[in-house]
Amino acid sequence: MSQATRPVAASPESQQLIDLCFDVAEGKLDAYPQLENAVSTRQDQLTKASDDFFASVESQSAEFQKKYKLEVDLIGKYFESYDSALEQILKFKADPKKELLEESAHMLAFCSNGMPAAMSSYEQRLLSDGPHRYPLINVFINLGKALRDKRTSVEAWVGTCKQYDVFYTEALREVNASKKQDAAGVPERRKALENIVKALQEMQKFTPTTSGAKFEEIIQELADGHRDLDEAVAAYNREITNGPTGAPAINIILNTAEGVLAKQFQPRLLRDLCTAQIEQTQQGIKEMQAVVKAPHESTVIQEETPKALEAMEGIEEALLAIVAYCDAQGSEEEVRAALRDLQELTKEMLDSKSSLDTHAENYGKVLCPHCQAPNAPNLKSCVKCNRMLPQMTGSDVYGQGASSFQALEGDAADSSRDGVVTTTMKEVFDANEAFLTDKMALEDFLAVMDDYLEKTEDAKKNLSKYHAPPVPPEATEEERAKAQEFIDLCAEALELLGQGVEECEYGLQCMRDGAADDDRDKMTEGQRFFYEGSQKMWQVRRVDEALQKYIHADDGSVPEQEDSTDLA
C-alpha cells in the first residue's frame, strides 16, 4: 500500500504510530522496535487520560452521570477502540501479517479524529447549562468567559464558532433554495438565519482581550436571532399543521394528500408521512389494548378506552389505504374516502382522549366527599369547601395506626368518603418519586416492589379462606331475609376485594418492569392501577366488620382479625 493512502490523524502522536505501522507493513521491519516503544508510550498516555476522565465523571452525582451517559459512553468506546488497535499492533510480532498493522492504523486514525468531536460534544453539553432559554447561548456565554479568563484557548473558541457557522450557513442555503419563498414565516426565517451567521462570524474575531461588553452585545444578537428563528418556524408550522382536526400530524397528512391529489407533491412524500404515523398508531393500539383488557372500576375508562381503541384501529386502516394509493394500488375515490375516515376518526379519538385525560388528572388525588373536588394527598382540608378530608393513619403526620390501610373516616354518619391514600400507598408512591428523581437506586426500588408483590401473592392465597356461609336452616323467615342481605353484601365485597388485589398486583408489576426498562409511561400506568386497586380494597374495608361476622359462621366464632386490605 502506498504512502498516499495513509490515513491522517488528529494528533502528531497518533500520526507517528500510523506512519510506523505502514513503514513496517511495507517491509521496513527494522522499524518495528521503534513502533513497539511508541505503542508502549501511547498505552501509558491513554490509560492516564482514560482514568482521569472517568474519575472526573464518577466524582459527579448520579443525576449528572445519567444526564451525560450517551456522551460519556461514546468517549468510552473511542478509548476502548484506540486501546484495541494498540494491542493489535503488538500482536504483529507473533503473527506478522501486514493487514493487522494496516487495520490498526486506520482504527487509530478513526479514533484520533472521532475523540475530539466526542469530547467537544460532551464539553458543549456541560457548557450548555445556564440561565438562558437557549442552550447554545449558554455555551457561548460560558465559553466566552473561559476565553477571557484564559481557561480555554482561542482555537477552541474559534473552532466552536466555525462549527455553528457552517451549520447555520447550510440552513440558510436550504431556505434560499426552497420553493416556498412566500410561505408563512419563510422570509422571517431567512432574515433570522442571516443575523445568526453574521453574529457567529463576528464572534470568530474575538480574543481574550475583547471586552466583556462586546461579548454580551454580539451574543445577545445571536440570542435575538434564535428567538426570531423560533417565531418564524412556529409561523410556518402553524400554516402547514392547520387543519380540520386537533392533531397536527394528521393535519399535515391531510394537507399533503390534497397536494398529491392536485399533482403538486410526489406520492412518496405522503407515503413516508403515513408510514411513520402508522408505526405510532400501531404502538398506541397495543398500549390501548392492554388498558381495555384490564379491569376498571372507573366508568370513564370503561366507556372511553374502547371508543379510543376502535377509532385508532380505524385510523390505521385509513392510513393503510392512503399508502396503497401512493403505491398505485387504489383509486382516487378510495383515497378520498380514506381521508374522510381519517379526519372523522381522529376527532373521535381526540374526544375520547380528552375525557380520559380529564379523568387521569384526578388519579392519585383525595376526592372531597362533600364537593368532589380533587385534593393533594397531604392536605387535611379541601381546597374548595375547606371541610375535613379523609386522612391516612400510620404516618408521622397523622399518628400511628394498627393497620397499614385503616383511615380516619370522620363522623360515623359520613359513609361517602373515597379517594383515600393509605400508608402503604404512600410508601409505594414515595418509592416511585424517589427512584424517578434519582434518590433511590434501581436495585433498592426493585426490592421494594418485590416485597409488595410477595405480600400481594400471599394475600391472593389468603382470599380462599373467605366465604359467605349458608343461611342457618333453623332461621326464621325474617332472619333469613336479613341474613341473605349480609351474605349478598359479603359476596360483593369479596368480588371487589379480588379485583382490587389483581389491579394492585398488575400495578406493582408495571412499576417494576417500567423501572427495569427505563419506561416512565409504564411506571405511570402501574401507579394508576395500584391506586385503583387500593380504592377497591378501601371500599371492602367499610364492610369488613360485617364480613368478619359471617366468615366461618358454621362454628359460631369470629376468627382473629386479619386485615385483608393490608396487602395494599
Whether the full predicted model's pTM is greater than 0.85, yes or no, is: no
pLDDT of residue 56: 86
pLDDT of residue 256: 87
Q: 105 to each of 33, 76, 216, how far by Cα in Å?
A: 16, 19, 45
pLDDT of residue 125: 77
Which CATH number is 3-123 given?
1.20.120
Q: Report residue 287 as a C-alpha cell.
A: 398500549
Based on the number of CB atoms within 10 Å of its own CB, is 53 exposed (0-12), middle (13-18) or buried (19 or more)?
middle
End-to-end Cα, the chain, rounded Å: 72
Closest CA to 562 of 482, 464, 484, 485: 464
Which CATH number is 135-240 given?
1.20.120
The average confidence (pLDDT) of the chain is 79
pLDDT of residue 369: 56
pLDDT of residue 417: 40
pLDDT of residue 185: 85
Confidence band, pLDDT 50/70/90 cuts, at residue 360: low
Q: Give the tens place of pLDDT for each residue, 411-422.
A: 222 333 445 566
Closest CA to 101 of 38, 47, 48, 10: 38
Q: Report residue 448 as a C-alpha cell.
A: 421494594
Residue 391 in contact with residue 339, Cβ under 8 Å? no
Which CATH number is 248-360 given?
1.20.120
Residue 394 has pLDDT above 60, yes or no: no
The upper half-sphere exposure of residue 412, i.e. CA atoms within 13 Å in the direction of its Cβ, equals 0
* φ and ψ at residue 558, rounded to 5 degrees: -110, 120
- Average pLDDT (235-241) is 73
| Strands 366-367 vs 374-375: parallel, antiparallel or unpaired | antiparallel
pLDDT of residue 468: 59
pLDDT of residue 370: 63
Closest CA to 551 of 497, 481, 477: 497
Confidence band, pLDDT 50/70/90 cuts, at residue 240: low
Confidence band, pLDDT 50/70/90 cuts, at residue 204: very high
Per the DSSP assignment, residues forming a β-bridge with 381 are: 388
Confidence band, pLDDT 50/70/90 cuts, at residue 32: very high
Q: Give the tens place of pLDDT for each residue, 429-481.
A: 888 888 888 888 898 899 999 989 988 888 777 776 666 556 666 667 776 77
Residue 374 has pLDDT above 60, yes or no: yes
Radius of gyration of the chain (CA): 34
* φ and ψ at residue 382, rounded to 5 degrees: -70, 135
pLDDT of residue 42: 93
- Average pLDDT (106-134) is 82
Q: Give the tens place of pLDDT for each residue, 45-54.
A: 999 999 988 9
* φ and ψ at residue 561, rounded to 5 degrees: -60, 120
pLDDT of residue 551: 42
pLDDT of residue 564: 38
pLDDT of residue 37: 94
Confidence band, pLDDT 50/70/90 cuts, at residue 93: confident
Residue 547 in contact with residue 493, Cβ under 8 Å? yes
Residue 95 has pLDDT above 80, yes or no: yes
- Average pLDDT (541-558) is 45
Residue 235 has pLDDT above 70, yes or no: yes
pLDDT of residue 485: 66
User: Which residue shows C-alpha cell 464539553?
Assistant: 123
